[in-house]
Amino acid sequence: MSTSGAGLVGPTQLRARFAASLSALYGTEVPAYTTLVEVSEAVNADVLAAMGPAAERLGSIDRVTAERHGAIRVGTPEELAQVARIFGACGMHPVGFYDLREATPPIPVVSTAFRPIDEAELAANPFRVFTSLLVVDDRRFFDAATQARLEEFLGARRLFDDELLDLADLAEKAGGLESVDADRFLELATAAFALSPEPVDRAWYAHLEGISSVAADIGGVGSTHINHLTPRVLDIDDLYARMSARGITMIDRIQGPPRVDGPAVLLRQTSFRALAEPRVFREADGSVVPGSLSVRFGEVEARGVALTPHGRALYDDGGVGALPATDRELHEAGLAYYRRDADGVLQPIVYEDFLPKSAAGIFASNLTGDGSVDAAQRAAARDAHWLREALGRPLHDPYALYEAIARG
Ligand code: OOG
Ligand code: NI
C-alpha cells in the first residue's frame, strides 16, 4: 500500500473507491453490466472451488473479484492532460502507446492505459482505464471543415470542473486527501463519467457517425462517459457460454489468444453488443426530441502471463502455437516474465496491459457502420513522444515495468 500522511485517504484507497463507485454508477446506467458481474463472480467461485489455490496463480481471488478496467474517450490533448491529473490522484499512471488508426478497421484515436505500476499497488487494486484521444487533424478521417468544427466544439466544452481538478492536484501533491475532500473528489470524479442528459445535435452527430461512430461518441456530445467497465474472469469460455445461455447476445468470438492447455498468456476478451440507451436530440429546427444511441457495451476479460518483447514477437507472428506450453520453457527461453517464490517455484507475472488487435476488435464489434477512411490523405503524426508531451507526465514502457517486477 502506498503511504500517505496521517489521516489522509491515500491513492490506493482513492483508486479502489473510484473503481467501486464507477461500477455502482455503470450498474445503474447499464443493467446488463450487473448481470455480467454476477455471472463473472459465479464463474470465479466455481474455478476457485474446482482448482483451489492454483486458481490464484495469476492474482488473489480478492484482487480478481474487485478487478475492473474501464474505457473512456476524450477529444483534445488538454482533456487528456486533465484526465491524467484525476487518475494520478488515484495512483494510476499512463502506460503504453496504442495507435488504433493502424488497426483493422482503422479507428481515429491513439490510446494509453492509466494503471498502477508497482506490484503492491497492482495487488491492492489494479483498476486500469483504457483512454483514447481523437486525432482530429488526421486527413484520412476528417476533412479541413470537419477538423475546424471539431476543434471549435471540443475547445468550447469543459469535461472536468476546477473543483475536481484542484482536488486531484491536492491529492497528488499531499499523497492523499482528508476524508471529506476524498468523498467530494470521488463524487465529482464519478459524476464526470456519467452519461449526460444534455441534448445531442442530431445533424452534427450524424455527420461524424458517417466518418466513425467513435468520432461521433467523442466529438458529437458535450461530455465524456464510461464506455464500458470490464470485470475479470478466471474462465472466459465458461463465462461466454453462461451469458449466451442467459439470452445475452455476445460478439461472435473471444478476442486474443485461443484457449491453450499450457499457461494462459496475455489477455482474452469478449463483449456483448452495445445496447440502445435513451438520449435526447436537438433537431435542425431547434426542437428537442427523445431518441436513443447504442455506444456502450459490456466486456469481460481473462488475463495470463506477460510476454517479453521476444515472446510477444513470436506471438504476433505465429500466435500461441509459436510458444512452448510450459512455464519452465517459457521462462528458460526468455519468452514470458516469471519470478521464483520462496520455494523456488515459478510465479507468472500477470499481463496488465491491452492488445491493439483486440482493442480494435472490441471497438469494431460496436461500430454502427463501416465509417469512411481515405487512405490517400495524409496521416497526422502521433507517437509515444507526442503522447508524453500531451500528458505532461512520464509515459511508462510496459516492458520496463514487467522487468522491474520480475527482478523483485
Ligand atoms: C476502447 C476499446 C478497447 C479493450 O479492452 O481493448 C478496450 C473503447 O471502446 O473505448 O477497451
Ligand atoms: Ni475494454
**Ligand 1 mutation target, pool 299, 300, 368, most atoms within 8 A of CB:** 299
If residue 18 lies in a helix (H) or strand (E), which one and from where to where? helix 11-29
What is the spatial order of strands in the sheet that 200-201 belongs to? 200-201, 267-282, 288-303
- 46 part of a folded domain: yes
CATH number where 121 lies: 3.10.180.80
Is residue 354 lining ligand 1, measured as CB closer than 6 Å? yes
What number does the ligand 1 atom closest to the CA of 366 have?
A: 9
pLDDT in the model for residue 265: 97
* CA of 107 relative to ligand 1 center, distance in Å: 11
pLDDT in the model for residue 393: 96
* CA of 59 relative to ligand 1 center, distance in Å: 22
- 327 part of a folded domain: no
pLDDT in the model for residue 367: 75
Is residue 308 lining ligand 1, measured as CB closer than 6 Å? no
Interval 69-87: pLDDT, tens: 999 999 999 999 999 999 9
Is residue 129 lining ligand 1, measured as CB closer than 6 Å? no
Q: Which ligand is nearest to the CA of 256?
A: 1
Q: Which residues of the chain have pLDDT under 70?
A: 1-6
Q: Helices 384-391 and 77-89 sit at what angle, rounded to 10 degrees?
A: 70
The structural domain count of the chain equals 1
Distances (CA, A) of 276 to 134, 279, 368: 23, 9, 11
Is residue 227 lining ligand 1, measured as CB closer than 6 Å? yes
Which amino acid, one-letter code, is at 353?
A: D
The Cα 387–Cα 112 span in angstroms is: 9
pLDDT in the model for residue 273: 83
pLDDT in the model for residue 136: 98
Range of the domain at 106: 11-255+366-407
pLDDT in the model for residue 181: 98
Is residue 132 lining ligand 1, measured as CB closer than 6 Å? yes
Which amino acid, one-letter code, is at 328?
A: R
- 348 part of a folded domain: no
* CA of 130 relative to ligand 1 center, distance in Å: 6
* CA of 269 relative to ligand 2 center, distance in Å: 8
What number does the ligand 1 atom closest to the CA of 130 have?
A: 11
N- to C-terminal Cα separation, the chain: 16
- 108 part of a folded domain: yes
pLDDT in the model for residue 217: 95
170, with CB counted inside 10 A (0-12, 13-18, 19+), is middle
343: left (phi over 0), alpha (psi -120 to 50) or beta: alpha
**384 phi and psi angles, rounded to 5 deg:** -60, -35
Q: Is 405 helix (H, G, I), strand (E, B) or coil?
A: helix
Of 391, 358, 148, 397, nearest to 265 (Cα)?
358
Residue nearest to atom 8 of ligand 1 (CA): 71
What number does the ligand 1 atom closest to the CA of 358 have?
A: 6
- 307 part of a folded domain: no
- 132 part of a folded domain: yes
Residue nearest to atom 7 of ligand 1 (CA): 359
Whether the full predicted model's pTM is greater than 0.85, yes or no, is: yes
- 287 part of a folded domain: no
**Alpha carbon of residue 11 to chain centroid:** 19
- 6 part of a folded domain: no
Is residue 365 lining ligand 1, measured as CB closer than 6 Å? no
Residue nearest to atom 11 of ligand 1 (CA): 71
